[in-house]
Amino acid sequence: MYKIYKFSFFILILALSYSCSEETIDDTGFGTVTGRVVEAVTFEPIENARVSSNPNTSAVFTDEDGYFTIENVPTGDYAFEARKDGFIVKFEAGTVLKELETELVFELEPIEEINQSPTVPELLTPLDNAEDLSLSVNLTWQSTDAEDDELTYKISLRNDITDEITIYEDITTTSYTLTSLNYSTKYFWQVSVSDGINPEVNSLTQSFRTLEFPNARYLFTRKIGDNNVIFTADDAGNELQITSDATNSFRPRKNIPANKIAFLRTTGGQAHIYTMNPDGSDVFKVTAGIPAAGFNLDYYNFSWKNNGSQLIYSNFDKLYKINADGSGLELIFQTPNGKFISECDWSVDSSIIALKVNNLNGYETEVYVINSTGTVIENVISGTMGAIGGLHLSVTNSKLIFTRDITGFESFDYRQLDTRIFQYDFITDLITEINVQKPAGFIDTDVRYSPTEAELIFMSTANDGISQKNILKYTIGVTGSRMEIFENAIMPDWK
């Protein structure tokens, strides 16, 4: 038995390369092509085999010893073909040079001695486009072989969210059970079969989708390779990656009425706001002409309108409002002193917006509140040195949570030394620290109220600027309730 690879693959490649592409023949000179056609196994000469070229010059037939000569062939690149009834057509590439002889040898394989490939695998279960499957899926298929050769199978499985491809090899049965699949994920699968003689035969590709992720109330960002990637998670700590690590996606913000997640993604050196479904599907680019921009995107924040119809975001010193479908872009505020707007938070009733503004290095920070017409109605912080961030209004607009480095330290890399959580009371105009039992040498940033406002969620890390960052939560006023909930994670959201 002989591998069909010898004739099928090269027939296809050479035919495409020489028959389907334009060849330029240098007709400034001529050369000669000689050679022999023999039987592939015994090497016995094949008489009266037809030998021709593409581009076409002339056709000749071999003599009783299998030899042939083609004279006066214009110089250039050719695909030469040898054929005879009862044998598989064979192609050989050759370059004809001026006044030189090009020699070729064709080894033809008898048709009756070719082993047949297995049939194309037919994928049986699950049905194509099946949905709501469990995290354990049994794949079945069928394929046959005319010579009853022993068959082995290979499964290629692609995760539609991460684009990760997993290969399962050396399978000897026509079924295989996949385990530990991800929730809310579409998978594409293909089966390849091999008889150990011929090239693999691939099935069509089919897909299925697993169950929706249950009660995913948390969102966060994690660095994978060179990119930020967004994850969702539940109260039990189960995690699901919902953006591909091939893109740089970060700062997720969920809106319950719209059932959408807004997030930032960098493309072409700019950051834009996108939205997607909670499972990562149906990605839509909201902003276009004016990107999201501030002094540092790691400390940048935008905000939903509570009903999910609009978003607000900044481009340096300007604050814009835009509809969630990308229409209706409107300038609603500009800082009077040219400082950059790095963070904004839109109140639940849409009546006020909290803003953090700073200079191009992130310092000289001011925190104030504007109304729906863009008028400043409350000054929270100004004239304070050091890093400030993490604005989040309470549901009643009575309080504002944020973080501040109490050391007042300022550096070119925006390093923070002792960043703590504070709360501003709009009724008393007082700022008080919320003691979340932060260890010495650590900083707490990116603080958010929990949905009940009885807890806080925030990012914590050592103040050396290089240690791992983790997401913690704390029950306000409860000693000993500080606990880590997600490792190697930043930019939390909790709905």
Both 446 and 464 in one domain: the answer is: yes
Locus of tokens 């992130």: 362
Q: Is 112 strand, coil or helix?
A: helix
Please tell me what DSSP assigns to residue 14: H
Q: What percent of the chain has pLDDT over 70?
A: 94
Q: Which residues, other chains included, contact 351 with Cβ-Cβ below 8 Å and sequence gap of 6+?
A: 371, 372, 397
Both 74 and 170 in one domain: the answer is: no
d(CA 342, CA 302): 8
User: With 0-12 CB in 10 A as exposed, 13-18 as middle and 19+ as buried, what is 452?
Assistant: exposed
Whether the bond into 55 is cis, omega within 30 of 0: yes
Check which CATH number belongs to the domain holding 24 and give it: 2.60.40.1120
Domain edge (last residue) among 84, 113, 142 = 113
Both 247 and 394 in one domain: the answer is: yes
β-bridge mates for residue 365, sequence order: 384
Check which CATH number belongs to the domain holding 161 and give it: 2.60.40.10
Q: What is the pLDDT of residues 292-301, one digit of tens each?
A: 999 999 999 9
User: With 0-12 CB in 10 A as exposed, 13-18 as middle and 19+ as buried, what is 317?
Assistant: middle
Domain edge (last residue) among 210, 242, 261 = 210
d(CA 441, CA 271): 32
Both 358 and 470 in one domain: the answer is: yes
Q: What is the pLDDT of residues 208-221, one digit of tens each?
A: 999 888 778 999 99
Both 102 and 188 in one domain: the answer is: no
User: With 0-12 CB in 10 A as exposed, 13-18 as middle and 19+ as buried, what is 364?
Assistant: middle
d(CA 250, CA 30): 64
- pLDDT given at position 154: 98
Both 106 and 145 in one domain: the answer is: no
Q: What is the pLDDT of residues 154-189, one digit of tens each?
A: 999 999 988 899 999 999 999 999 998 988 899 999
- pLDDT given at position 112: 61
β-bridge mates for residue 5, sequence order: none
d(CA 473, CA 483): 6
pLDDT over threshold 60, residue 1: no
pLDDT over threshold 50, residue 237: yes
- Note whether 64 and 40 are within 8 A (CB): no
**DSSP string for residues in 28-94:** EEEEEEEEEEEETTT--B-TT-EEEEES----EE--TTSEEEEEEEEEEEEEEEEE-TTB--EEEEE
- Note whether 494 and 261 are within 8 A (CB): no
**Residue 216: CA count within 13 A, CB half-sphere:** 28
Q: What is the pLDDT of residues 65-101, one digit of tens each?
A: 999 999 999 999 999 999 998 888 999 999 999 999 9
Q: Is 420 strand, coil or helix?
A: strand
Which of 191, 246, 249 minimizes the C-alpha distance to 219? 249
State the distance between the two ends of the chain, measured CA to CA, in whole angstroms.
65
- pLDDT given at position 19: 41
d(CA 399, CA 454): 13
> What is the residue type of 226?
D
d(CA 236, CA 175): 33
- pLDDT given at position 4: 39
Number of domains the chain contains? 3
Whether this prediction's pTM lies above 0.85 is answered by: no
- pLDDT given at position 184: 87
Mean pLDDT of 353-380: 96
Q: What are phi and psi of 230, to 5 degrees?
A: -95, 135
Both 101 and 162 in one domain: the answer is: no
Q: Is 345 strand, coil or helix?
A: strand
Both 126 and 58 in one domain: the answer is: no
Both 92 and 138 in one domain: the answer is: no
Both 478 and 432 in one domain: the answer is: yes
Both 82 and 132 in one domain: the answer is: no
Domain edge (last residue) among 210, 227, 244 = 210
- pLDDT given at position 86: 83
Its domain, for residue 430, covers: 218-494
Check which CATH number belongs to the domain holding 346 and give it: 2.120.10.30
Both 242 and 314 in one domain: the answer is: yes
**DSSP string for residues in 159-213:** ETTT--EEEEEEE-SSEEEE-SPPTT-EEEEEEEEE-SSSPPEE---EEEEEPPP
Average pLDDT over the chain, rounded to whole? 92
pLDDT over threshold 80, residue 204: yes
